[in-house]
Amino acid sequence: VAAYDVEALRRDFPILNREVHGKPLVYLDNAATSQTPQQVIEVFSDYYSRYNANIHRGLHTLADEATAAFEATRHRVKAFLNAEDARQIIFTRGTTEAINLVAQSWGRSQLSAGDEVLISMLEHHSNIVPWQLLAAERGFTIKVIPVDAHGALDMQAYRELLSERTKLVAVNHVSNALGTINPVKEMAALAHQHGALILVDGAQATPHQQVDVQSIDADFYAFSGHKVYGPTGVGVLYGKQALLEAMPPWQGGGEMIKTVSFDVGTTFAGIPHKFEAGTPAIAEVIALGRALEWMEGVGVEAIGAWEAVLLKHATQAVSGIEGLRILGTAPHKAGVLSFVVEGAHSQDIGLLIDQLGVAIRTGHHCAQPLLHHFGVEATCRASFAAYNTLDEVDTFVAALNRVIGMVR
Ligand code: PMP
């Protein structure tokens, strides 16, 4: 990590210069949304001032330029995930929409009474609720892989839950609430031994580690642009080619058809366009490509290694605080520090620490079942990104100590 120049890369992020309540911003809510480098911000003014046009309908210069830039991101995402083919990359609004796409297209056509979908106790609501909605309609059963006291998945229980009834395992790669990194490659192999597919929610993994969907052998993999230094409004679904080709369309509209007729019905475009109905978030997709380029310029593995340094430093620094309990102490963790403090409400800590310029997250982190399992309604969560510094961690810990002194 010696060559990691955090001060240099901070200069790419104009927002890091701002103050909050008269204090320099210390932004530690990266698991919710990471900040955006100037290079990505510039995509928007460049796009809207030079080549704003609808894509794929071509036939003029601006449309061709917009289409080329849009499709260039598809190729960049293919490389980012090490997908076999760019046609396996489908643009969505985010991880949530990617999972809903799988549920409504693959799930609705494949799942029925007697089938089982395994999710885990660590899931974000976006990988729980789409399955509950569909289960209510299709009558299949959802089973939950439990976690141990450290917030790691109970792999023995997972093995025992798998059976011929299992049609899908849907798990996150990294937990947003605790930071646990799940052994998704091993989980995929076990799922496949039982003839089940695996969907991996990569919203919290893609910001921190090099992901290789072929090595994992994921059937579906989803992530969001706004957590990888890109804009909101765009995300990705990767799927195995044969699966995507066999799946029925989900949303109908322009872009996703081959021919439309009132008499003989409609035929659909091939992948990926079959799943991209309507005008997409064109500038956002192009900006996502620029964000991934930015990440690769720094080095995805280098970012992860730096965040591990920050996490270790933060974990050591807060473990001296009396009455503070860290949730999520699994051996493999990404840059998330979730904790509760005896005698202090998480929400009060969050509000008061904001007064000191420090942005952390408080609440249930869209993982209510997990928090209930640990017997809490809310935690405080500090989460790290490429541009955070050891000084910022120290500022956060000092602010936390001050706030705890105030509320106790
Ligand atoms: N899964 C995980 C693990 C997440 O952390 C998030 C975002 N907090 C999501 C899914 C949902 O992502 P989005 O809101 O961008 O669709």
Give per-residue pLDDT as tens, 98-144.
999 999 999 999 999 999 999 999 999 999 999 999 999 999 999 99
Compute the distance between CA of residue 99 and CA of residue 92 in angstroms, rounded to an integer: 10
Model pLDDT, residue 2? 54
pLDDT digits (tens, 9 = 90+) for 309-339: 999 999 999 999 999 999 999 999 999 999 9
* Residue 147 token pair: 């976690």
What spacing in Å lies between the alpha carbon of 223 and ligand 1's midpoint? 8
Distance CA 33, CA 203 (A): 10
Give the per-residue pLDDT at 1: 46
Give the per-residue pLDDT at 216. 98
Residue 2: DSSP 8-state: T
Ligand 1, residues 91, 96, 338: which to mutate, most atoms within 8 A of Cβ? 96
Three-state SS at 238: strand
81-96 residue pLDDT tens: 999 999 999 999 999 9
Structural tokens at position 359? 């942005």
Listing DSSP states for 81-148 in one string gives HT-S-GGGEEEESSHHHHHHHIIIIIIHHH--TT-EEEEETT--GGGTHHHHHHHHHH--EEEEE-B-
To test the ligand 1 pocket, which listed residue (126, 201, 226, 338) has its Cβ within 8 A of the most ligand atoms? 126
Q: Say how many Å lie between the CA of residue 203 and the centre of ligand 1.
A: 5
Give the mutation target among 97, 364, 366 for probing the ligand 1 site: most ligand atoms within 8 A of CB: 366
Beta strands across the sheet bearing 141-145: 89-92, 235-239, 220-224, 197-201, 166-172, 116-120, 141-145
Q: Is 195 left (phi over 0), alpha (psi -120 to 50) or beta?
A: left
pLDDT for 3 equals: 82
User: How far does the centroid of ligand 1 lie from the alpha carbon of residue 126, in Å?
Assistant: 7
Domain ranges of the chain: 6-30+299-407, 42-297
- Please confirm, yes or no, whether 380 is among the known catalytic residues: no
Alpha-carbon span 260 to 236, nearest angstrom: 27
What is the percentage of the chain residues whose pLDDT exceeds 70? 100
Encode pLDDT of 218-248 as tens digits.
Answer: 999 999 999 999 999 999 999 999 999 999 9
User: pLDDT category, 408, cuts 50, 70, 90?
Assistant: confident
List ligand 1's pocket residues with C-beta within 6 A: 32, 94-96, 124, 126, 172, 176, 201, 203-204, 224, 235, 366
Q: How far is CA 268 from the centre of its chain?
A: 29
Tell me the CATH number for domain 42-297: 3.40.640.10
The CATH code belonging to domain 6-30+299-407 is 3.90.1150.10
Residue 147 · residue 153 · CB < 8 Å:
yes
CA 159 to centroid of ligand 1, rounded, Å: 26
Average pLDDT over residues 351-376: 96
Residue at 353: amino acid letter: I
Whole-model pTM above 0.90? yes
